[in-house]
Amino acid sequence: MAQLFNADEIYAMGVQIEKNGNAFYAAAAGHTDDPGLKKLFLRLADWEQSHVAIFEDLRLKLPAAAKAKDVFDPDNMVHLYLKAVADNNVFVKGLSLNSDHLVWTSPVKTLNTALDFEKDSVVFFSSMKEVAIDTSGAAQVQKLVLEELKHIGYLTGEISKLGG
């Protein structure tokens, strides 16, 4: 039997994903000369930073048992899925934020990359709430899912404006 992530570990992954999102959007703002896109990216960076605070607060409020409790998945599927998504798919994996990476070559490419990251975040956070030990934490994660869906809407609107 394989051990699943406990709630503390899950929320720690959420913190890292949101920090990665903040870094991505801050870098995106620095790679555009378009004032409207710069404003959007900076707003998204701020939102991601506020999500960091939510996950950190959830971690602080966890009872000791939720930080140490062993939960098992006989097929190891949820553990493998969460680890793969957190390690490989959600914000900035393999992307150098300070370089002239292909993603920065056009606003549409940057927006599409951000859109893909946000979609991955929704999938990851939706999975997180299914394995969260603390039900109030699951409710907070659901709120974050809804916020990430708003990000998808903003990004999709910008892509449409640019004809992408």
Q: Per-residue pLDDT tens for 107-156? A: 898 899 889 888 988 888 888 776 665 566 677 778 888 888 999 999 99
Q: Which of 30-34, 50-54, 69-73, 127-131 has the lowest mean pLDDT?
A: 69-73
Task: Give CA separation, 2 vs 46, 112, 119, in Å.
Answer: 37, 36, 28
3-state secondary structure of 62: coil
Confidence band for 4, pLDDT divided at 50, 70 and 90: low
Cα dihedral sign, 136-121-23-107: negative
β-bridge partners, 3:
72
pLDDT at 1: 37
The domain total for the chain is: 1
- Residue 47, domain extent: 2-161
User: Model-level pTM?
Assistant: 0.77
Q: From residue 109, how far is each of 50, 120, 128, 161 by CA, in Å?
A: 25, 17, 28, 13
Local structure of 72: helix, strand or coil: strand
* Mean pLDDT within 40-48: 93
Highest averaged pLDDT of the listed ranges 13-17, 89-93, 148-152? 148-152
- Yes or no: say if 42 and 160 are a contact pair by the CB < 8 Å rule: no
Would you say residue 10 has pLDDT above 80?
Answer: no
Least confident stretch, 4-8, 49-53, 110-114: 4-8
Distance in angstroms (rounded) separating the CA atoms of residues 115 and 99: 20
Q: At 28, which CATH number?
A: 1.20.1260.10
The percent of residues above 70 in pLDDT, for the chain, comes to 68
Q: Please report the pLDDT score of residue 3 as a whole number.
A: 44
